[in-house]
């Protein structure tokens, strides 16, 4: 069967909700053993339980990816239990603002999760991949990695770093048969989007949802499972010739806007 992940183990950060949850579910459907890292104990444990009931055992670990010691402990535990074949660096946070209304604390918070979190996970996983001379890493970047978006100064900074880290890892570990790519979504319809609209535009939720959807040339937001399906391909053996590449999945945003 094409795109099978049978006998493979995947670590997915931020797997309790949104795109991360969709990746967890899709990978489990295709036979992977899924290890979910998330700060939200309720969402993470619920996702693991749903997958276990429907597909196969899945495991949840409460973990702050911005803290190296926590990540190292969890990754070691997973490596001993089942080995590691795939790392999905999906955990991330957003922030709206230009440089003038981005406080130092805001910048540090974005860096710690979106940049250092990716560093922590890759650094702890790489030795296990090198030992088996094989591994796949997918980093969740963004269209903000490559194009200017208003009021996204700190977020764009962090996702730009994710993009260039991807290139660096792919280059440095070619001889170790470790593939590293990144995915750059445009706006995806998740609970985060619904919460943002409800908080900032009370009473105008439907109107704002339609307005945000129309910012994508294709006329709608992406769906979490669409991002998950791209991640599935990139982690499958069918993508064995693919490394060091950014994959926009953006409804035409980068090339067709304006």
CATH classification at residue 95:
3.40.50.720
44 and 153 share one domain: yes
23 and 40 share one domain: yes
Tell me the C-alpha distance between 130 and 175, whole Å: 9
Total domains present in the chain: 2
Digit-coded pLDDT (tens) for 87-97: 999 999 999 99
Mean pLDDT of 65-78: 98
Tell me the C-alpha distance between 112 and 91, whole Å: 11
Residue 258 lies in a domain: no
Residue-range definition of the domain harbouring residue 52: 9-186+223-243
Residues 6+ apart with CB under 8 A from 255: none
Residue 256 lies in a domain: no
Residues 6+ apart with CB under 8 A from 177: 133, 134, 135
194 and 181 share one domain: no
76 and 148 share one domain: yes
For the question of residue 128 being annotated catalytic, the response is: no
Distance of CA 101 to the CA centre of its chain: 26
Burial class (CB in 10 A: 0-12, 13-18, 19+), 150: exposed
Digit-coded pLDDT (tens) for 107-163: 999 999 999 999 999 999 999 999 999 999 999 999 999 999 999 999 999 999 999
210 and 229 share one domain: no
102 and 27 share one domain: yes
Contact 183, 138 (CB under 8 A): yes
Catalytic residue among 61, 128, 155, 173: 155
Q: Which band of pLDDT confidence, cut at 50, 70 and 90, is reported for residue 258? A: low
Neighbours of 133 (CB within 10 A): 10
Residue 113 lies in a domain: yes
Q: Which residue's structure tokens are 């993470």? A: 44
Mean pLDDT of 236-253: 98
Instruction: Answer whether 0.85 is exceeded by the pTM.
Output: yes
126 and 210 share one domain: no
88 and 125 share one domain: yes
169 and 230 share one domain: yes
Q: Which of 223, 236, 187, 182 is nearest to 29 (CA)?
A: 236
Tell me the C-alpha distance between 191 and 254, whole Å: 24
């Amino acid at each position: 069967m094409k795109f099978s992940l049978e006998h493979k183990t995947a670590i997915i950060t931020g797997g309790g909700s949104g795109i991360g949850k969709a990746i967890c579910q899709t990978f489990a459907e295709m036979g992977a053993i899924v290890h979910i890292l998330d700060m939200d104990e309720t969402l993470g444990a619920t996702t693991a339980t749903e997958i276990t009931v429907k597909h196969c055992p899945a495991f949840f670990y409460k973990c702050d990816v911005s803290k190296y010691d926590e990540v190292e402990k969890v990754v070691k535990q997973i490596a001993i239990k089942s080995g590691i074949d795939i790392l999905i660096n999906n955990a991330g946070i957003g922030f709206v603002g230009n440089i003038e209304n981005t406080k130092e604390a805001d910048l540090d918070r974005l860096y710690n999760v979106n940049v250092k979190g990716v560093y922590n996970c890759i650094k702890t996983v790489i030795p296990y991949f090198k030992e088996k001379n094989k591994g796949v890493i997918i980093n969740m970047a963004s269209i903000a990695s490559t194009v200017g978006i208003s009021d996204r100064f700190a977020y764009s900074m962090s996702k730009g770093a994710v993009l260039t880290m991807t290139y660096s890892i792919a280059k440095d570990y070619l001889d170790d048969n470790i593939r590293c790519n990144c995915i750059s979504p445009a706006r995806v319809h998740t609970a985060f989007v619904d919460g943002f609209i409800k908080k900032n535009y009370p009473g105008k939720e439907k109107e704002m949802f339609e307005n945000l959807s129309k910012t994508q040339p294709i006329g709608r937001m992406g769906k979490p499972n669409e991002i998950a399906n791209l991640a599935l391909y990139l982690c499958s053996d069918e993508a064995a010739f693919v490394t060091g590449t950014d994959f926009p999945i953006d409804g035409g945003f980068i090339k067709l806007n304006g």
